[in-house]
Amino acid sequence: MEALVVALLFALLIRTFIVQPFKIPSESMCNTLLVGDHLLATKFDYGLRIPFTDIAVFDGEQPQRGDVIIFKYPKDPDVDFIKRIIGIPGDVIEVRNKQVYRNGEALKEDYVRIDEPNRILPGRDIFGPVTVPEGMYFVMGDNRDNSMDSRFWGYVPRKDIIAKARRIYWSWQGLTDIRWSRIGQAIN
């Protein structure tokens, strides 16, 4: 019984402070992350907080442009979202005809998926310019035509960032279709 309690406490500590598994439920990060990908995300990169509080034990590094992060969805903090950081505090973000500009320069984003190249929608494909406020981050899904992100609901507060996505540990598309080539892949 003692060994079981120690093992459970150890597992709880690892999940709370070090690494946590997440499952991808939607297509918003395709093709970087696919529906059915299971990934590990490190919680200590951006600091550690005492569970169920916003009290920081240490701050860690600041989130960077290009990081794929897990965060509390601003419209419902009980739901975790995963997106890529496009803008950090002070950046000016604009989208013109599906092309993202940061501080006036067009981004080169090899990971982006565009499903509707000839369909331009205001708010999705034409957006901004906006300046990212202090303590906030502008995030977008890699599947730009199929992502609810900062273009629709605003910024992600620094305090709501939970973890940095690191590696796919399992991937499948149904019970019989395991995507072996994705297992172990780093997320960038």
The string of pLDDT tens digits covering residues 80-105 is: 999 999 999 999 999 999 999 999 99
Check: CB of residue 36 under 8 Å from CB of residue 171: yes
Q: pTM to 2 decimals?
A: 0.87
CB atoms within 10 A of CB 31: 11
Percent of the chain with pLDDT strictly greater than 90? 65
Percent of the chain with pLDDT strictly greater than 70? 95
pLDDT value at position 10? Answer: 72
Give the Cα separation of 143 and 31 in Å (integer): 7
Q: What is the pLDDT of residues 53-79, one digit of tens each?
A: 777 777 788 999 999 999 999 999 889
**pLDDT tier for residue 15 given thresholds of 50, 70 and 90:** low
Q: Which domains does the chain have, with CATH numbers?
A: 21-182 (2.10.109.10)
Active site residues: 28, 83
Whether 141 shows a pLDDT value over 70: the answer reads yes
Give the DSSP per-residue string, 22-50: EE--SSTTTTTS-TTEEEEEESSTT-EE-
Return mean pLDDT, the chain.
90
